[in-house]
Amino acid sequence: MPATWLQLAVKAPSSASDAIANFLIERGSPGVVLKKGQVQAFFPSPMCGASFKRDIRRFLFSIRELYSDSGEPELHWTVLKDKNWSSSWRRFFRPQKIGRGLIVAPSWCAVPKIPGRKVIVIEPGMAFGTGTHATTRSCLELLERVTRTLPQGNFAALDVGTGSGILAIALARLGATQVLALDIDPVALDAARANVRRNRAQGIIRLSGSALSQIHGSFRIVVANLTAETIVRLTKSLNRKVSPGGYLILSGILQPKAAEVISQFAPSRFRLASQVTQKDWTTLLLKKKG
Ligand code: SAH
């Protein structure tokens, strides 16, 4: 599935627009546009499954009394074109601190210099991964935590579904000597390639459109921010790619599906070291038995 973005337009009388805007930001839209009688929000298409859309409809139904005379809540989903993307979306992506030692900044802002924080500069293009989404953020926080325990400059990592390249670049910043970053979407790979160059990490990161099952070797850290369904489908390959004693970080999992994902990996081959849920999205840190 291409990693494009969708625009959601919701009919919203002024009495309901704040509640709707807050809800959509909480669900992962990096920002909203408030128009007369309408709220617009933006979501990466891989995140917009049937249950996600149902969740939004359920919320609108729960506040339908705010619509009073202005009819029923109406939703329109449209695929974002490049042009709309840059005009409506960019202004919501601002530099942000992540964890104890990272800062993610959009390419069109002055890069803030904060002592002790490593900067990752991202131009998302049409790819997913600005760090504003709860899943990306949780992955970055866990990567930071895990890399602190590893000998710097002496580990290899794998990023499955790299999108904008953000997690691969973070790994390079956090001391990986080699990072292999995969994506099945050529649009994402193009965006990632530009970001890798922008962050001068081309000596460390290799991008590839190969399937995970085709990748040889094993890695100290494997990170995969996909969906619960894709992760479960890839269980066998993901397991094989983690070296003994290494770490597997899994995200993009809606909370009700976390138990199913955990049961695929722990307790047989992995120990569940951490489970973080932010805004309904669960991220798992699994440590492979030695
Ligand atoms: N890693 C980024 C982007 C996550 S979005 C972040 O954390 O923000 C998920 C990405 O995975 C998309 O770019 C999508 O194209 C890619 N993807 C989906 N299924 C995949 C698979 N089976 N193998 C590799 N990439 C996949």
Mean pLDDT over the full length of the chain? 87
- The residues with which 77 forms a beta bridge, in sequence order, are 8
Mutating to test ligand 1, I would choose from 128, 159, 223, 253 the residue with most ligand atoms within 8 A of its C-beta, which is 128
Q: Give the pLDDT confidence score for residue 91 in this predicted structure.
A: 57
**133 φ/ψ angles, rounded to the nearest 5 degrees:** -80, 140
Mean pLDDT over 213-242 rounds to 97
Q: Is the CB of 226 under 6 A from ligand 1?
A: yes
Strands 102-106 and 118-122: parallel
pLDDT band at 179 (very low <50, low <70, confident <90, very high): very high
Q: How far is CA 72 from CA 18, 37, 44, 64, 86, in A?
A: 17, 12, 26, 7, 31
Ligand 1 atom closest to the Cα of residue 212 is: 23
Can you tell me the distance from the alpha carbon of 162 to that of 128, in angstroms, rounded to the nearest whole number?
8
CA of 21 to the centre of ligand 1 (A): 27
Q: Is the CB of 138 under 6 A from ligand 1?
A: no
If you search the block for the tokens 């990490």, which residue do you land on?
Answer: 201
Closest CA to 280 of 99, 58, 94: 58
pLDDT per residue over 26-61, tens digit each? Answer: 787 877 787 888 898 888 777 778 888 998 998 988
Q: Is the CB of 139 under 6 A from ligand 1?
A: yes
If you search the block for the tokens 């546009």, which residue do you land on?
Answer: 33
* Higher pLDDT, residue 121 or 124: 121
Q: Is the CB of 160 under 6 A from ligand 1?
A: yes
Does 227 score more than 50 pLDDT? yes
pLDDT band at 2 (very low <50, low <70, confident <90, very high): very low
Q: Give the pLDDT confidence score for residue 50 in this predicted structure.
A: 85
Nearest CA to ligand 1 atom 3: 163
Ligand 1 atom closest to the Cα of residue 133 is: 8
Rg of the Cα atoms in the chain: 19
